[in-house]
Structure 1
Amino acid sequence: MLKVEFKKIGIPEKQLYLTETTTDEKLKFNEVLIEVLFFPINPADLLLVEGKYGTASPTLPSLIGAECIAKVLKVGKKVKKVQPDDIVMPLTRDNWAEKLKVTEENLIRVNRSINLVQASMLKVNPATAYLILNNYIKLNQGDKILQNAANSGVGTYIIQLAKYYKIKTINIVRRKETLKELKKLGANKIILNNLKNNKIITNKVKLFIDAIGGPEVDKWASYLEDHGTIINYGLLSGKNIEINTNKVIFKNISLKGFWLSLWLQKMSYSQKFNLYSHLSELIMKNVLHTKIDQIYHVKDIKKAVLKARKYKRNGKIIVAFKKENIKKYI
């Protein structure tokens, strides 16, 4: 069995490596043996290797991987939620391995007809976008929201979901070449991040979704209406959030953080199943879709990680364990 792991904290493409090991396929009564088909490379995965992720450092050597899509190979005696050949999404981490043993409570069964490459990205970004839009403030049709890193994984899902809900998005990006693609997704307004463009926002917005942090949060918070909300879900700047106290006191601007793991911890299995079933349906209806830059075989994991770290990509980087699976999607 092939798996990806790292022994030292450092530069991801230097520290991550492919190794082979045997798998104990003997299952406990509630365990399921799954075969990983595809996995995406997410920023959080790379931050973990760099030692910059918000959780405690893992015991090394460590597996890695926030999400994947897999097929059930074998089930324990008392497993009822899934059966062999089902397509499943693990709720657990450390998914960059060819085979995994997972308890049935940590598996979400998805429709077998779903696009498997798109489904490999189901757990993190679509759920983040959905929960941010539906769980903090009441958004009605026609309301405006503002977001930075609009061309990121979460950002593009926010645009697509907002279009589906008939909510208008104002989207901040750094690169001019992203404009055409974001308009195609349904972005209502796009701002290149420089001071000249700030006047484009003429009406106040209810919600500012921030993936970057740092001093610019205060600048964009100026466009929130009274009682407006900032949701921060990322730290791309590597700097602490700054916001003028006057905005907090006299405009009652509130700042809240979002971390998907905390949300999933407090949700029941049925709530998680309903969430991901709904998002799966939206993927199958093509309401939600992510552009793919390239699919790599796992033996090229270092090349895949290096490409994933580049800002100028044309979509997401996906990795597969079998070459025949790659051929189905290129």
Structure 2
Amino acid sequence: MRTVVFREHGEPADVLSVIETEPTDPLPGEVRVRLTARPINPSDLLWIRGRYGRAARFGPLAPGAPPVAPVGFEAAGVVDKAAPDVRLRPGSRVAVSADGTWREYLNVSVADVIEIPDRLPDDLACQMTVNPMTANLLLDDLGLAAGDVLLQTAATSTVGRMITALARRRGIRCVGLVRRRHHRPTPSDDDAVEVLVDPPERAREQIAVFAGVGGVTAALDAVGGATGRLALDCVRDGGRMTVYGMLSGSDIAVPPDSLVFHGVNLDGFWLPERMRTMTPEEIGELVRTVTDQLTHHHLHAPVAGRHALADVRDAVRRAESRAGTGKILLVG
């Protein structure tokens, strides 16, 4: 089977390779899944560059093989074989949340698969375990009320658009910092506006006018660097900013007076760690919520293109260079 790996950290288009490995039988408590669709997420690219929240584990995939690290954190597919003690049967469609999904077959614990309904296509199912769950949990953790103002960076990313959609359903007013204008707000759409990052002074003025006397209640930052600092500067006294990404690769310069004198609460969010704080019942409810949101189109997970596993280098180049919205999927 084809398996995407890397032997050292670096630029994804330079260090990724496709090798042939042999599928193995699932162990007790596992299923073997024939994977059919896998999104390219920013976390995947951070992992390859060695900048993700946990270190890559380099090891041989077969006796005598050189050490490699697998790639990919989510996917969708069909159960190919199940251990005797597992309820899921071959043919069951599943979403997978596990390490190493950029391959054709993957053995995975049943705790890391979600059985999906036929009405949820692979294009959506393969994206359900990262972005939609992140969007829901970020909003839940902020605890914003109707009329509050939420500022986002990377507002036109897939997760950014999901957060906006969920927030607007709760009556939260949304403003997004973007690098380029995607649409101009109209009077009927003035509760979800886009503000260009540059020039920063103009961005601050526009955000202040939009937020009004109440100011920006909270900010969500997926970029870091100067953009993250701009978002922090816009949060009102006693407000909150949560950082959940690092797309710029640069640190946020945090002025102490923002924390000491203005009482801004600054924290971070990492989905795997957040999920570890949840009970099985809470996770089950989140899964049901996300499935319903995707099925009924309350959340959109657009696809910008599809590439075969063998074309993974071209796929990651496209994922990083495209100007449009939507994920690049690795299929087949």
Q: Distance in 1 between matches of 2:56 and 2:152?
A: 30
Query: CA distance change for structure 1 residues 122 and 217 in 2, over 3 Å: closer, same or farther?
Result: same
Deviations 1:209-235 (A, max 9, x none): 011122443433233222200000111
How do 1:274-285 and structure 2 match up within 5 A? 274-285=285-296
Q: CA deviation at 1:174?
A: 0.4
Counterpart CA distance in 2 for 1:172 and 1:88 is 35
TM-score by length of 1: 0.89
Task: Report 1:135-146 matches (<5 A).
Answer: 135=141, 137-146=142-151
The aligned residue for residue 114 of structure 1 is 120
SS at 2:128 equivalent: coil
| CA–CA separation in structure 2 for the residues paired with 1:155 and 1:96 | 24
**Percent same amino acid among aligned pairs?**
28
Q: Distance in 2 between matches of 1:89 and 1:227?
A: 40
Q: What is the aligned counterpart of 2:175 among 140, 150, 170?
A: 170
Alpha-carbon shift at residue 180 of structure 1 (Å): 5.9
Asked if 1:197 corresponds to 2:226, the answer is no
Which residue identity is paired with 2:304? D
Tell me the CA shift for residue 20 of structure 1.
1.8
User: Normalised by the size of structure 2, how large is the TM-score?
Assistant: 0.89
SS where residue 13 of structure 2 aligns? helix
Q: What is residue 157 of structure 1 aligned with on the other side? A: 162
Structure 2: which 5+ residue stretches go unaligned? 59-66
CA distance in structure 2 between the aligned counterparts of 1:314 and 1:282, rounded to whole angstroms: 19
The 1:179/1:105 distance shift into structure 2, 3 A limit, reads same
Structure 1 residues 247 and 112: CA distance shift in structure 2, 3 A: same
Aligned pairs, number? 317
Q: Which amino acid aligns with 2:51?
A: K
Among residues 120, 136, 140, which one is paired with 1:134 in the alignment?
Answer: 140
SS for the counterpart of 1:68 is strand
- Find the aligned partners of 1:294 and 1:218 in 2 and give their Cα distance: 33
By how many angstroms is 1:242 displaced? 1.7
Cα distance in 2, alignment partners of residues 237 and 147 from structure 1: 15
CA–CA distance in structure 1, aligned partners of residues 296 and 121 of structure 2: 11
Partner of 2:321: 310
What is the SS of the residue equivalent to 2:164?
Answer: helix
CA distance in 1, matches of 2:185, 2:121: 21
Q: Which residue of 1 aligns with 2:16?
A: 16
Which AA in structure 1 matches 2:225? G
Point out where structure 1 has 5 or more consecutive residues left out of the alignment: 322-330
Asked if 2 retains the 8 angstrom alpha-carbon contact of 1:213 and 1:242, the reply is no
| Of 205, 213, 230, the match for 2:241 | 230
Q: 1: CA distance between counterparts of 2:105 and 2:264?
A: 47
Distance 1:186 1:17 in 2: 46
Distance 1:294 1:215, change over 3 A: closer
Preserved contact between residue 231 and residue 257 of structure 1 (Cα < 8 Å): yes
Is the contact made by 1:292 and 1:316 (CA closer than 8 Å) also made in structure 2?
yes
Residue in structure 2 matched with residue 273 of structure 1 by the alignment: 284
How far apart are the structure 1 equivalents of 2:295 and 2:22?
A: 36
Partner of 2:47: 48
| 2-structure distance, mates of 1:128, 1:186 | 25
